[in-house]
Structure 1
């Protein structure tokens, strides 16, 4: 229902009289509510902050053997690779194996045509046999006959010269001097022929000289060597990884024919960052055995879950220009042939053992300023403390979940390993017993 007033001014006055009491009542009620909200319950006091539950570990002296991972490539050890080449020119008669064939030391790989070398060998052997053969009886008899004939001729010439000499001595006019000289000459010739016949008989009986025998023997050995080179064999056991020769191909001396690789032990070549050299070099200087810290472990994506132990035995003398990395070689037993030449693998290298103060590697954190920090717990209070994990250019030493501390802590210091990050200095803490979940830790 709507009220209508004939006098508007009277209506306005009445409206103001009704609104003012209502406003005063609202103000009073709101003040009462505010007083009730600000008042404390009887006996209620301000609560103190609760201690933060943390887990801790003590800094202790430990012996750590650090390791780091790099990517490497499997290569063949040079002493275990045989590059078969043609030692003599010739015609390839056949291939005894295929690529991928397993061969033993001395097995035939490439066969050359042997026809010409066999003929040359037969000729050399025949010449040598003829040279060293003993004279036949008829040859000796013929030589002896020549000796006898020469001797008889010499005796006759000698007697004739003697008679002429006697005649001239008794009557010089009967034998001219020129005739005597002629007979003396004939005697000398007969004696020379006798000596030659004697020498020929002795040579026949003695056989060839040692020089002749040796020269003929060398010809035989040379022919045998050439024939042997027609069979190209492997000097080591392994796998034929490549064959370049083809049947019917004529090759020159020195031509590459095939490659045999013994992969029972392989090398892994990798590059080590320069800041990792100190520990690895120390391990190598200790002797290069696994027990002394130069051990390595090779893993491949082709064999998940399988590890191949090895030993780092050599560091390169030159660094890479752009990265300053240094090459390293690791020798890895590979009796099953799982690691193949050219395969990319992950290589874990172990440095020398380092003894020093260490804490769990989950304890250190990095603050907003980039400094390494830990939270030290003393008498139930938290104290953020700056530490150093390395000195100079040396790398951090981490192993088995622990990290070496070179500055900032002492042996026996208790550091927070859980829930200690960024706690203000002096924060009250309570150490959770081992096995008990710290506050805020979710169950599994």
Structure 2
């Protein structure tokens, strides 16, 4: 194999996928060099784990692999706090069948009295220990393996408690920008879809450190200062910023925030606490082409969102997606009309329009024939008012509303799902009509 000309080795490697190239690199130094030319690393991951930091350092310092990195995916999640091994075992999945000692422990000593009390206590303790040991026969892992899982978990837990995660993320992000010339996309997320690259990578890094749900964990928190560092000679060259289930904190630095290279912003948070941070980014990113925003629908936030809509004008905005937001009709209409010349795609899911300003019929009436460049509209799970009761619209109404916004015609007639059918998740009207899935790495 080593006697093959370098050209043939290179040709062999050119037909292989990145996963197939991994073992080829171990054949010999010659094949390692040939495979390195074709082994592309398009994205790197940064988890709150020492092994992840080491892997990132190895890639960013590699003369070949760092060249093709375009995306960094950051997950700052910490492991749930566990007091001891018993606490850890309680968090393990039920289908592991790992026995909990408290389920076998003998009754308290005061229950045994009389002449035979000591003997009864000894027998109860012996029986409990025997049944506990026997229960391990049905467990998915042995007692020694679970002990090893706990030692690993405790090591990661101690590490995370000893560092400032925000400072580490900021420094590693700056390192990645300085070493990876094509890095343009940043993803901040604490959620990973099953079978996604992020889930597989997280499992390979943490192994059995995240075996159960543990105590209720708050969303990871980061300051804008931590994710928007000054890099590349004073500029921040990121084109795509995706934030999913990360609670942001306000920009605190004195120097103004400038994000002239940012073209795609997706903030998909199940929290109402990021309006100010979104406003800060929108003001600094005047060249945005894509804007996705998701939060928890709350009528109390209508004044906050209306302030954002009234004070933001993005001259190049082409794609817009809103989810779980409560709007005033006039402010949303004004925002859409200000972007009528550039807007190409509009999607809204679980969006509620203030009934005092006309609801969805009033919104459609105001937008009719006003968005000439719109070529795609997607509406899903819209909410309106049927009499004095809040109700969901049928798919037929949303289809007519989409057609009205694209091609005009008569104003759609409202059609609502019956209250009794809102819990029928097999009904076509209760099935999601649009999927705004983020492409891998973005």
Flag whether TM exceeds 0.5 (same fold): no
Which bin holds the TM-score, normalised by the shorter protein?
A: under 0.3
Where is the strand percentage greater, Structure 1 or Structure 2? 1
Answer with 1 or 2: which has the greater Rg.
1
Q: Taking CA–CA contacts closer than 8 Å with sequence separation of 6 or more, which of the two structures ends up with the larger relative contact order? A: 1
TM-score normalised by structure 1 residue count? 0.16
